[in-house]
Amino acid sequence: MPELPEVETYRRIFERNALDRVITRIEVRDARILSGITPRTLSRTFVAKRFTRARRHGKHFFAESDGGKSLHLHFGMTGDLDTTPASSPEPRFAKVIFTFGEERLAFLDARLFGFCSIAPSLESFVATNGLGIDALDPRLDAPHFARIVGERRGALKAVLMSQEVVAGLGNLYVDELLFATGVHPAAKANELSAKKLREMHGAMVEILQRVIAIHDRGADYPPEYLISNREENGRCPRCGGKLARETLFGRTTFYCRKHQRPKC
């Protein structure tokens, strides 16, 4: 499920394959993927234009065009990008297809939890929708993180999942982060020590950047990551104990009862 590292990977794919090329055609295969626009609007806005810059905020992707408007994609849970020549068979689950002469970029989404839309700009969308600072924004340093997370009274899992506090983390990497820092998912954010919160910031940046690099190389997750052991009867990569698997705050949550404590 695309969280910040995956969307960053899509951004890079888009950058390499779809920038500075004249958009010759846009085809919508399933209009339910569109949010607030029609296929006609999409074509009128972008055909004969070029995408000039690919950006990301949290899990949201924006491609600026030389027409002024930005393409806005959200990948939901099964969103994906495919770049194959326009002459090759259309990929499975293609919902919107951008053609640049002989080249093609397809926005795929098997389950339609993602969407394709048009935004005036990344900044306007972020402001209008109350998204928090991006998890990898250089302005988000440890004290800043400790302040905005530590003032929340909710459970850490819920607070970290909330895109209004910090944008970009989802179910998998929140679990990974809590595992890495030894914090129980239900621990209250405002009850963590400032020290632990600062440590959590460091771990968050480390995990996100490392996963982006892993995706870039096409590598596997490290075996010591929780995510590599995220399965029924999975074992804690630190102590070998059986991992807990519970639904917490509406999400399947894996954690180690031994290492992850409510009070830190």
Encoded one letter per residue, x for contact with DNA by CB under 7 A and - for no contact, window 162-181 reads -x------xxx---------
| 161 interacts with DNA by CB under 7 A | yes
113, 142, 144, 221: which one binds DNA (CB under 7 A):
113
Establish whether 49 is a catalytic residue: no
| 158 interacts with DNA by CB under 7 A | yes
Of the candidate spans 42-50, 71-79, 193-201, 211-219, the one that interacts with DNA by CB under 7 A turns out to be 71-79
Q: Which is nearer to DNA, 159 or 180 (CB)?
A: 159
What DSSP assignment string belongs to the chain? Answer: ---HHHHHHHHHHHHHHHBTSB--EEEES-GGGBSS--HHHHHHHHTT-BEEEEEEETTEEEEEETTS-EEEEE-TTTEEEEEEETTSPPPTTEEEEEEETTEEEEEEESS--SEEEEES-HHHHHHHTT--EETT-TT--HHHHHHHHHT--SBHHHHHH-TTTEES--HHHHHHHHHHHTB-TTSBGGGS-HHHHHHHHHHHHHHHHHHHHHHHHT-PPPTTSGGGG-STT-B-TTT-PBPEEEEETTEEEEE-TTT-BS--
Establish whether 120 is a catalytic residue: no
Q: Which is nearer to DNA, 17 or 79 (CB)?
A: 79
Establish whether 59 is a catalytic residue: yes
Q: Which is nearer to DNA, 6 or 64 (CB)?
A: 6
Active-site hit among 6, 8, 56, 59: 59
User: Cα separation of 96 and 99, whole Å?
Assistant: 10
| 192 interacts with DNA by CB under 7 A | no
Of the candidate spans 8-16, 57-65, 191-199, 209-217, the one that interacts with DNA by CB under 7 A turns out to be 57-65
User: Cα separation of 118 and 164, whole Å?
Assistant: 21
User: Cα separation of 216 and 210, whole Å?
Assistant: 10
Angle, CA 67 vertex, CA 65 and CA 68 arms, to 5°: 75
| 143 interacts with DNA by CB under 7 A | no
Of the candidate spans 48-56, 139-147, 209-217, 245-253, the one that interacts with DNA by CB under 7 A turns out to be 245-253
20, 31, 32, 224: which one binds DNA (CB under 7 A):
32
Q: Which is nearer to DNA, 23 or 174 (CB)?
A: 174
Establish whether 2 is a catalytic residue: yes
| 76 interacts with DNA by CB under 7 A | yes
- Residue ranges in contact with DNA by CB under 7 A: 1, 3, 32, 58-60, 74, 76-78, 93, 110-113, 129, 152-155, 158-159, 161, 163, 170-172, 247, 249-252
> What are the catalytic residues?
2-3, 59, 251
